[in-house]
Amino acid sequence: MRLSRYFLPLLKESPAEASIASHNFMLRAGMVKQNTAGIYTWLPLGHKVLKKIEQIVREEQNRAGAVEMLMPTIQPAELWRETGRYDAYGPEMLRITDRHEREMLYGPTNEDMITDVFRSFVRSYKDLPQMLYHIQWKFRDERRPRFGVMRGREFLMKDTYSFDLTEDTARQSYNKMFVAYLNTFARLGLKAVPMRADTGPIGGDLSHEFIILAETGESEVFCHKDLVDMAAPGLDVDFGGDLQALVDERTALYASTEEMHDADEFAKVPADKQLSARGIEVGHIFYFGEKYSAPMKATVMDKDGKPVTVKMGSYGIGVSRLVGGIIEAFHDDKGIIWPKSVTPFGAGIINLKAGDEDVDAACETIYSALSKAGVDPLYDDKADRGGVKFSRMDLIGLPYQIVVGPRGLKTGEVEVKDRASGERQNLTLDAAINFVTEAYG
Amino acid sequence: MRLSRYFLPLLKESPAEASIASHNFMLRAGMVKQNTAGIYTWLPLGHKVLKKIEQIVREEQNRAGAVEMLMPTIQPAELWRETGRYDAYGPEMLRITDRHEREMLYGPTNEDMITDVFRSFVRSYKDLPQMLYHIQWKFRDERRPRFGVMRGREFLMKDTYSFDLTEDTARQSYNKMFVAYLNTFARLGLKAVPMRADTGPIGGDLSHEFIILAETGESEVFCHKDLVDMAAPGLDVDFGGDLQALVDERTALYASTEEMHDADEFAKVPADKQLSARGIEVGHIFYFGEKYSAPMKATVMDKDGKPVTVKMGSYGIGVSRLVGGIIEAFHDDKGIIWPKSVTPFGAGIINLKAGDEDVDAACETIYSALSKAGVDPLYDDKADRGGVKFSRMDLIGLPYQIVVGPRGLKTGEVEVKDRASGERQNLTLDAAINFVTEAYG
């Protein structure tokens, strides 16, 4: 993409409403614009990151055997009456009346609706287990939306729902998501720790939050230090096999959110391994058995023709929230530092003398080569001076910058800067192209 | 995908509420489930088609130079008050009050909001033209939703907005979308004819609907027959160049929707070229100049530092409606016949004797080879009898079926059926794999 043809409206000043780094940088880097409290337009740069995260989440769901579908944003109130949640859910539920005075709502979550979809079609134990997911916009009418997309009202979420015949197989479904989540967050560049968590309005008796550590985290968390750097299971995990050992390895050590914290248990962790820190929730998984399937009569016939109420779990990842979470984890005072897996563009090309024949030609050569190689570069072809271009590129945080100016070109060289380390090297055009291409190879 | 692990809930009977083919087949083939009037869950098979259409629409927008972003579904009423549309828009607008008693709405379209985004950031003629689009769920509270996803209440739409300094360049933006739409519909396998159209609640003085002909179309249309088979401009069009001749070629011949129909003009078309038929609107483009930019004060400074109100157009494609539209165009009495570009799976593999060692092995070989080749096969590995499998595969309409049974395997052969023509051929495993792979090459 050529910057002159892109829509990248940067802000010069830090907006007053931004109290945390991700909110500040997302506004300054032209990633989002607030339309009204807690509701955002995703400008092109922000939208690209959102889509990349969504795609990684999707790929890891598919790998774990979950099947994608899509439920609507607007739901009929009847479904929520069946489970008693229509009245139980507080003012965070956006209630709507349509032109025929029917009661509707903008879905804050989908347990009730997916249970209805399931019971409409599935009759036999032979069709179990089922694991279905969707990636859809949700709405929670927060009393005080804040922290930008981290606590917005309209937000994008991946939610998966599992249906099993027995508690044992339901536990296996839970484990699949547990492992898929570890792999998902690792691909996003994040160190997410699964922690025992409260089940809140979803309900159930088994639940883990996946937490990334960040000073600006919304809640306090407590865990064994070794969990933070424990490697993810890896993409070659056999999801058809038994995953219990992988899960046990990560649940044997202490890790808990504030709500479930047990100070006495935590005290048993060796003192030099005790970690108490601020954390950001990026995923949350629940096993809740028959909480929805019982009132909604989601049953299947077992081998003996006897009706069995299915056992369910639900598994969420905050896709739009992750954009903020990743920035909280990766930034410096100059701006964002994107992990390669979610960067909106693979590299930036800075033309230090737009209009100069040689510089333009060199930039075009690099732009064309990187485009062909699938690196998807952003080419700053505007007429601004170097200082403006450098700080703009640092702010939007692409992993590599290729700086092309008349001085370097005299010896046939350009400068390649690594945004994370700040390291710079002078390379020939070809070497620069190869270096960046191989970084994504 | 193995059918035994997929969620494909087929209906045996034609549902009473389905009055047109697409609605009937989408319900019977397990593509959608209605949650409440005009609001649908996209089951896995339907969701796959929806995503494929969305991706083709996206690619052609990008090729034309439009930049993707994403506006929220919920909008503040203030924006619509500025343009006077909050009161003008009838009961089709879903009006919402949030917990703080603020007036909101579920966006039925986005002219007002995009104009607000534009005026917040763009100040100079140097930043024009701009062409921004998003693909987002919209809501129109139809009094009587019907025809399944063809006239639902919650629907997926691609809408693009152009901003130009002058009417002349605005006309060029209009032409870009005109040409991009022709290419888009051609890639979807559709013959869409641009027709002079009424501007309705969007407003403006220049507008074309893109119409596909189908007996079940919602409106009557009139056009010169030659337009129906006129080839699309093609993907190598230079969107930086002048597209007027391409547009003129397609607007010189008579083509009009019922609202704009001029019987006297139509009578001048040679009698054997007069076509009056039913049509389905799949796209609609508008030029409306300053209709939104004037009341919302979206101005930029021109070369001389003088404020100029920008000239706007908007361009919509009904993505979810297209799923129905494509089925209306491509089906027979047995079911759907997907165009290759949007088929949910590239081919179906029918195992006629699940459990038989040789048949299972042959199916696995084909399944694995086609998966690796990127054909994305659906493997019917269930225990049902042949008749059930044949009609199931015909119903869901994948372009190719590979039928594997013990009899054919004795001579090392399988049967490949072309869903559209019904032609069958006996081929060796390798030849069958190659044949299907090359069909997608």
* DSSP count for chain B of H helices, then E strands: 13, 23
CA of A264 vs chain B CAs: smallest distance (Å):
41
pLDDT at A186: 97
DSSP state of A146: B
pLDDT at A215: 86
pLDDT at A399: 98
Q: Which residues of B touch A70 (CB under 8 A)?
A: 41-42, 47, 50
pLDDT at B71: 98
Whole-angstrom distance, CA of residue B3 vs CA of residue B388: 13
Burial A76-97 (b: 16+ CB within 10 A, else e): bbebbebbebbeebeeebbbbe
Beta-carbon contacts of B371 under 8 Å, excluding residues fewer than 6 positions away, are B377
DSSP B68-105: E-B--SEEEHHHHHHTTHHHHS-TTSEEEE-TT--EEE
Residue of B41, B104, B143 lying closest to A99 (CB–CB): B143
pLDDT at B22: 96
Q: Which residues of A touch B154 (CB under 8 A)?
A: 72-74
In the sheet where A94-97 sits, what is the strand order? Answer: A74-76, A103-106, A94-97
Pick among A48, A52, A67, A115 to test the B interface (most B CBs inside 10 A): A67
> Is it the case that residue B119 has pLDDT exceeding 70?
yes
Q: Which residues of A touch B102 (CB under 8 A)?
A: 36
Q: Which residues of A touch B42 (CB under 8 A)?
A: 69-71
**Contact pairs from chain A to chain B, CB under 8 Å:** 142
pTM of the predicted protein model: 0.97
Which chain B residue shows the shortest CA-CA distance from A154?
A: B72
Residue located via tokens 């986005």: B110
Q: Which residues of A touch B7 (CB under 8 A)?
A: 67, 69, 130, 132
CA of A294 vs chain B CAs: smallest distance (Å):
20
Whether A71 sits inside 8 A of B120 (CB atoms) is no
Residue A436 φ then ψ, to 5°: -70, -40
Of B71-80, B210-219, B261-270, the poorest mean pLDDT is in B210-219
Residue A437: closest CA among A375, A372, A367? A375
CA of B307 vs chain A CAs: smallest distance (Å):
20
Please tell me chain A's helix, strand, coil percentages from 3-state DSSP, rounded to the nearest 5: 35, 30, 35
pLDDT at A219: 87
Q: Which residues of B touch A157 (CB under 8 A)?
A: none
pLDDT at B216: 84
Residue of B42, B74, B79 lying closest to A69 (CB–CB): B42
Q: Which residues of A touch B78 (CB under 8 A)?
A: 36
CA of A265 vs chain B CAs: smallest distance (Å):
41
- By the 8 A CB rule, do A79 and A145 touch? no
Residue of A41, A43, A102 lying closest to B72 (CB–CB): A41
Average per-residue pLDDT for chain B: 96
Please give the radius of gyration of chain A, using alpha carbons only, rounded to the nearest integer. 24
| Average pLDDT of the residues in B18-47 | 97
pLDDT at A203: 67
Q: What would the pLDDT profile of B91-107 be if each residue is shown by its tens digit?
A: 999 999 999 999 999 99
CA of A141 vs chain B CAs: smallest distance (Å):
7
Whether B41 sits inside 8 A of A71 (CB atoms) is yes
Whole-angstrom distance, CA of residue A114 vs CA of residue A293: 10
Q: What would the pLDDT profile of B129-157 be if each residue is shown by its tens digit?
A: 999 999 999 999 999 998 999 999 999 99
Question: Sorting pLDDT into bands at 50, 70 and 90, what band is B202?
Answer: low
Residue of A72, A134, A153 lying closest to B154 (CB–CB): A72
Residue of B41, B48, B132 lying closest to A117 (CB–CB): B41
CA of B109 vs chain A CAs: smallest distance (Å):
14
pLDDT at A202: 66
Pick among A11, A69, A323 to test the B interface (most B CBs inside 10 A): A69
| Average pLDDT of the residues in B368-375 | 98
Query: What are the residue ranges in chain A where pLDDT is below 70?
Result: 201-204
pLDDT at B179: 98
- By the 8 A CB rule, do B346 and B436 touch? yes
Which amino acid belongs to residue B153?
R
Whether B76 sits inside 8 A of A35 (CB atoms) is yes
Q: What would the pLDDT profile of A236-248 be if each residue is shown by its tens digit?
A: 999 999 999 999 9
